[in-house]
Amino acid sequence: MRGRELLALVGRLHGLRGAELRQRVGEVLEIVGLTEASHRRIGGYSGGMRQRLGIGQAILNRPAVLFLDEPASSLDPEGRRDVLEIIARLRASPPCS
C-alpha cells in the first residue's frame, strides 16, 4: 500500500468521500511532510516517515484532542526533529471546528 492510499482508506472509514476526501488527504500529506513520498510504498518508508504517516492518520478527521504515546521514541535524530516539529505546528494551529 502507498501512503496516499492508506490515508484515503482511513478517510473513507471516517466517512469522507469524493473531493472532500482528496482535499483532506492532500492537506494531511502536506502537514506531515509526505507529499513527495505519498506515491511510494509504505514498506520503503523510514521509521520517521512511518511515524509521520501515523500522525497523519490520527489527524485526518480533525479530532478535537489527540493523544500521542512517545511519538519520537526509537527515531533517529532527524526523524525525531521532524516529528516534534509537526507536533509543535499542530499545537500552534487553531482548534478544529
pLDDT at 93 over 90: no
Which residues have CB under 8 Å from 31's CB, separation 6+?
56, 59, 86, 89, 90
Instruction: Report all structural domains of the chain as residue ranges with CATH numbers, in order of start.
Output: 3-92 (3.40.50.300)
- Predicted structure pTM score: 0.89
Q: Tell me, what's the pLDDT at 95? A: 62
Please identify which residue in the block is written with the cell numbers 509543535.
88
In this predicted model, what pLDDT tens digit does every residue of 50-66 receive, in sequence order? 999 999 999 999 998 99
In this predicted model, what pLDDT tens digit does every residue of 2-34 receive, in sequence order? 999 999 999 999 999 999 999 999 999 999 999
Q: What is the 3-state secondary structure (H, E, C) of 18-48?
A: HHHHHHHHHHHHHHCCCCCCCCCEHHHCCHH
In this predicted model, what pLDDT tens digit does every residue of 35-52 receive, in sequence order? 999 999 999 999 899 999
